[in-house]
Chain A
């Protein structure tokens, strides 16, 4: 299911029956037809094509956000974990505490609001909010691994910090980090579509699911199918990612993490 979604997103330009931006006011709010399999929106744009291109936007943004926040999180978490008895760890931990003490979505809203609407800005906002969580979990993992005998042995043998991190610690926690990423894909897609829905994310001409739902809201009585398709799409995609995340988490015995 997930592979299908990713495939659809990659091959959107080939698969889409119509140009997602093409405006055809004569054919607005149509029901499904041969030319427009899922009908058209208020400007006569093909809903199926827009959904396919929307998958690209959503997955790309989600991927980038997770990549950035997990990189920062890993960097900070490892540094704090390695030097867990020094001042630098105290500073990082305090910073994370402040960030985590405040509900993430509130913060993302405020930051995105300050920066103004735009896809790049919501990416920045979500990344600022979410790295702290990773940093904290990874710090815990690093401390756990650090005290293992083989790391102590490496240290006694005179290995430097960088070598220990890249060869002894990161390989040991990479699976857990991977699981963390997968379990968060679903919620990140949800956050992005939510921010887009209130108009903070993608702008009108771009195809994005949250945005499409927001536009379709005006025509809810006239053509409910226009709003239903993007909703079904979001739910199905997020559900697929969540199911995989759950499966991975129970494999890793991270349930409840």
Chain B
């Protein structure tokens, strides 16, 4: 079990390393010369002044050295200062991250509350009118961009009925509309996935056998179908939460939610590169942590997974596992991209 977790953490570490490399390269490729920014208050910088500035920024060294320097700073928690406010970026993020996590949490709850009942109901009533209705609803819901749903919700509940606040952060009431705009759509994607997974299990022999033996319907669903359909579903819920995290940037902007996402959007306008780089790395870490957490839950629910993870000696197994599960949830990944992204 420990072996399994450490393997996951090692894997996460490599992914983060890849992400850091990518953001670093993007920062170098991005338009705008940092030397010019630094010297912007001088009229006509001489060549010496330029060289001095390069030296100061460390740009005269090879980029590998620059990368490792930067990486070391990042590991120490120093993402540099924001160009705009001149405050340490990490601090600015830590102030805003809780709001984003709160929103993601709300959206996840909404997604689960919508996804599970709909998915299970439509799988059990396959082909019946209920299933057709739910499937139609799901298809429509995943076609709605989250910001459009957000605006519609604002129009109905905020402007016309004046029931719920539409701007900013506050009590539970402030959380409802933003969470719903993300969660409803992601929930539809989840429901589709649950339906497909459950239908695959329902066809299996052990379910028919249980039915023949006269096991009650409820117990069949709970013990025989759900338990077997759950693993890929849980894996893709982890992936979907990542989509929710990213998609929250758009919804945060719409609802003036003071989270990391709207901070990113402002930083993009201000061409505030350290903030953008920090956002990428911090969000990647949060996402990895969530996924490791999801894996732990998974292990607790289905203890056999630990054994599988332990017995197979090396990475090959995880890759195969990921592939087979990955194929199943690709679609859901897309759906969650749609839903939350836009």
Report which A residues bind B (CB closer than 8 A): 97-98, 100-117, 133, 136-137, 140, 183-184, 186-187, 190-191, 193-194, 197-200, 210, 213, 217, 220-221, 224, 227, 231, 234-235, 238-239, 242-243, 246, 255-257
Contact = CB atoms under 8 A, between A and B. Distances in A.
Interface in B224-263: 239, 242-243, 245-247, 249-250, 253-254
B109 interface: no
B303 interface: no
A113 B200 CA distance: 41
Contacts of B249: 109, 198
B276 A105 contact: no
Chain A interface, DSSP helix/strand/loop, else mixed: helix
Range, interface on chain B: 35 or more
Interface in B134-159: 139-140, 142-148, 151-152, 154-155, 159
Contacts of A213: 147-148, 151
A235 B30 CA distance: 34
Given A113-B264, A200-B268, A234-B145, A105 B279 contact: no
A183 B331 CA distance: 9
B143 A193 contact: no
A133 B239 CA distance: 14
20 contacts: A98-B19, A101-B288, A103-B246, A104-B337, A105-B247, A106-B245, A108-B341, A109-B249, A110-B26, A111-B26, A112-B268, A116-B268, A186-B143, A191-B337, A193-B342, A198-B265, A238-B144, A256-B196, A256-B197, A257-B331
B258 to A, nearest CB: 15
- A-B interface, 5 closest residue pairs, ranked by CB to CB distance from nearest: A194-B342, A106-B246, A103-B242, A98-B18, A113-B268
Interface string B270-297: 0101001001100110011000000000
Given A242-B142, A257-B330, A110 B23 contact: yes
B335 interface: yes
A110 B264 CA distance: 8
B65 interface: no
A105 B23 contact: no
Contacts of B250: 194, 197-198
Nearest to B17: A98
Nearest to B11: A101
B66 interface: no
A102 B143 contact: no
Contacts of A102: 15, 19, 242, 284, 287
Contacts of A256: 193, 196-197, 200, 327-328, 331
